[in-house]
Structure formats: structure tokens, C-alpha cells
Amino acid sequence: MSNLIKEIDARTRLAGANQMELLLFKLGTNEIYGINVFKVREVMKLPTLTQIPEADSRIVGMANIRGTMVPVVGLRQSLNLAAAPDAIEHAKHTHPYLIISEYNASLQGFLVSGVDRIIRFSWSAIKTPPAIIRENNKGAVTAVTMLDDGRMVLILDVEKVLNDICPRSDDEVFAGVVSSPALQSKCVLYADDSSVARTQIRKALERLGIAFIQTTTGKEAWDRLQGLADQAVAEGKSAVDQIQIVLSDIEMPDMDGFTLTKSIRSDPRLSHLPVILHSSLTGTCNMEKGRAVGASDYITKFDAKMLGEKLSFHFGLGPSKTSKAA
């Protein structure tokens, strides 16, 4: 199964074509779940787990992955699908796998009852669930899509699942983020399908004193930008001046961040706007692809201080200590 997850950087080419790949898996129920392959570092059969006394019930143990201690999250428990099963008993009745993912610069494993396959979709086929569903599942299911046979795939928000288990305090997340009078006249339009990421960005912008427009998908961001462009033309302006920067995730339903960036660069009313790609996806290929489609910068989630520095730099208010054009 680990052979399925190779050349992660190369998969960025799919995003540039507004395509992505999902790893499909099951949790011992009839439902099919999916996780973006970009977020997956490795897939393996469930190794021996060491139980951790007094651990959160959603943490089913610790695995030794080639010398690295990796906490293992039981997705059934995290999604409230059933009471926490004993990992050893679980292994007796299923063919469990461990999906290794990276979040906040550390590795975590997700215990699943079975892994199906990797399948490619156009981002236009990935849809946000209705609001009542998003609110009911507290944001754990960030998007849905359909298989050719009519079955639905529920796509998980990995950041949301992990943040619920181990939340970081605002004091920790936003340390060093300080407002300045020069920022208070600025406005950012940002797009991210993760509820955790949107909250983090919103709080960072509020602390910086920057106005903002929030969107949840690349298509929604594009529609808002087109609305601003039409408004500018109606006011006799040749270019949008209501916002000064676009901050975009890469992986989003309907339209990915690379495609959004290319669309912005192709519209003369918007092409002057700096576009910062803001993603949990690491790798030089992402940065190179960002540069190729016209992104102004690329930063990984989530470093609020760096975000503030990058925004100030692209507002023209000072040097960015870590600035490297995407």
C-alpha cells in the first residue's frame, strides 16, 4: 500500500490542472471517506501499538515508525461513529491500516479499518456540503464528491480532526502578532475550505487590524473578485482597489488555489493584486508551481507571525525577513 503514496511533489501538477487525488478508506461502516493524497505521507498495515495511560480516548496508542514515535488517532472515535474500540480487538476483526499525515510540523497516524484505492477527481467535482451538515458534524467533513457508481465520498478536514484533539491556545498561535496604524487601511480577501484555517486567518487579521473578506472555496473567491471587478468598472476604475492582497489555500472545492491564481492573473482588473498561497502542503514543487502560475509568495500553515510579515511586505510596508517569492 505504501507504493501508492510516492512522488508527492509530482502530484502538484494535478492541482495546477484543477485536479486532485483522494485516498479512499473506510471506518467499519458503509460510508466511504477520503483524504487528499497531498496530506498523506505514508500508508501501512497497522503496526504494534503501545497503549498510553490516561490518554485522550481518541488516541488509541503510539506507534514506532522507523524510530519516530507517532501518536495514532482513532478516526471512528474522533468522528463519534462508535465508542472507542480496543485497537488490538479492532485488528482481529478488520484489516486495519495506518494513514500517516503531517500537521503542525509533526507526524500523526490515523487508524482506519481498510484502505480502498486512490482516485482522481476534478476540483469542480468536489463540493462543499450543505450548511446544516457542516454545522452538524462540526466541520470534520469539509467536502463531498460522488463516485461513478453513485456512492458518496465524505472528505475529511484533517486539520479540524487534529485541532479538536490538541488545540493550541491563542496566546501560542498568535504570539508576536501586533497591529500597526499602517495596516488598518488595508483589506485582504482570503479563501480556505478548512474551518480551522479560516478561524486562524480571521483571528490573525483581526489582531493585525486588517479588514478582510472571507470565502470558503476557490470558486467563491473568484465570484467575489469578479463582483469587486465589476463594481470597480461601474465606478469608472480600471482596476480593483477595494482589496490589496488575495490569500488563498491550494486545496479547495470547485477551484483550487493554483487555478484561482491563474484566473486572477488573466483578468486585467485583478492582475495587479499580490496573491499569497497559504497551504499545509510542503515541497519545492508547490512553490515552483505557485511561481509558474503567477503567485507572489508561498507560505505554509500556520505561522501567524510569518503571515503578518508576509502581508506587510506585500502591502509595501517593509521587508519580509523570510520572504521568498513562490
* Single-letter amino acid, residue 284: T
Give domain limits for the chain.
2-165, 170-314
Structural contact between residues 164 and 221, judged by C-beta atoms closer than 8 angstroms: no
DSSP string, 170-205: HHHHTTT----GGGGG-EEEEE-S-HHHHHHHHHHH
199-226 b/e with 16+ CB inside 10 Å = b?
bbbeebbeebebbbbbbbbbbbbbebbe
SS3 category, 49: strand
Cβ burial, residue 192 (10 Å; 0-12/13-18/19+): buried
Given a cut of 80, whether residue 179 has pLDDT beyond it is: yes
pLDDT in tens, 302-323: 889 999 999 999 999 876 544 4
Q: Is 9 a residue whose pLDDT tops 60?
A: no
User: Is the model's pLDDT at 93 over the cut of 60?
Assistant: no
Report the relative pairing of strands 106-112 and 97-103 from DSSP bridges.
Answer: antiparallel
Phi-psi label, residue 205: left if phi above 0, alpha if psi -120 to 50, beta otherwise: alpha
At 282 the pLDDT is 57
Architecture of domain 170-314: 3-Layer(aba) Sandwich (3.40)
- The CA-atom distances, in angstroms, between 303 and each of 3, 32, 280, 310, 311 are 32, 33, 11, 11, 12
Report whether pLDDT(109) > 70: yes
Q: Is the pLDDT of residue 1 over 70?
A: no
- Give CA separation, 39 vs 31, 51, 120, 298, in Å: 21, 26, 15, 17
Q: What pTM was estimated for this model as a whole?
A: 0.74
Tell me, what's the pLDDT at 202?
96
* Inter-residue contact 103 to 18 (CB < 8 Å): no
Length of the chain: 326
**Between residues 150 and 2, which one has the greater pLDDT?**
150
Question: What is the rounded average pLDDT for all residues in the chain?
Answer: 84
Please compute the mean of the pLDDT values over residues 74-86 and round it to a whole number. Answer: 74
Reported CATH class of domain 2-165: mainly beta
In this predicted structure, what is the pLDDT of residue 121? 85
Task: Categorize the per-residue pLDDT at 161 as very low, low, confident or very high, splitting at 50, 70 and 90.
Answer: confident
